[in-house]
Amino acid sequence: MSWSILYTPAALEDKLQLATLGFNQVFEQVLQQLQAQPQTGTALVADLAGAYHKTIIGQHAIIYQPITEQKIIKILAIV
């Protein structure tokens, strides 16, 4: 069973902006990778401990938090 994706309101807005830049297909591929293996990104520290960073393309990345108990990947931001 793959993990579900949950967006914060800010991340949902970020996703729409990313789509306008033409990166929607690449973004979806990265999401599929995360659903198969959520902890493959770079672990973050300090205030973002428990969250991960995964590059989408170039300077764009996903900041996300895997919630293991419910098998949810919470997308915090897309930068």
In CATH terms, is domain 4-78 a member of 3.30.2310.20?
yes
- Condensed to tens digits (0 to 9), the pLDDT of residues 20-66 reads 888 889 999 999 999 999 888 899 999 999 999 999 988 899 999 99
Classify 13 as helix, strand or coil: helix
Q: What is residue 1's predicted lDDT score, i.e. its pLDDT? A: 57
Instruction: Say which residue, 18 or 73, is predicted with more confidence.
Output: 73
* Stretch 1-23: mean pLDDT: 90
Q: What is residue 39's predicted lDDT score, i.e. its pLDDT? A: 86
Q: What is residue 54's predicted lDDT score, i.e. its pLDDT? A: 94
List the structure tokens of 21: 């830049």
Classify 38 as helix, strand or coil: helix
Q: What's the pTM?
A: 0.90
Domain range annotation of the chain: 4-78
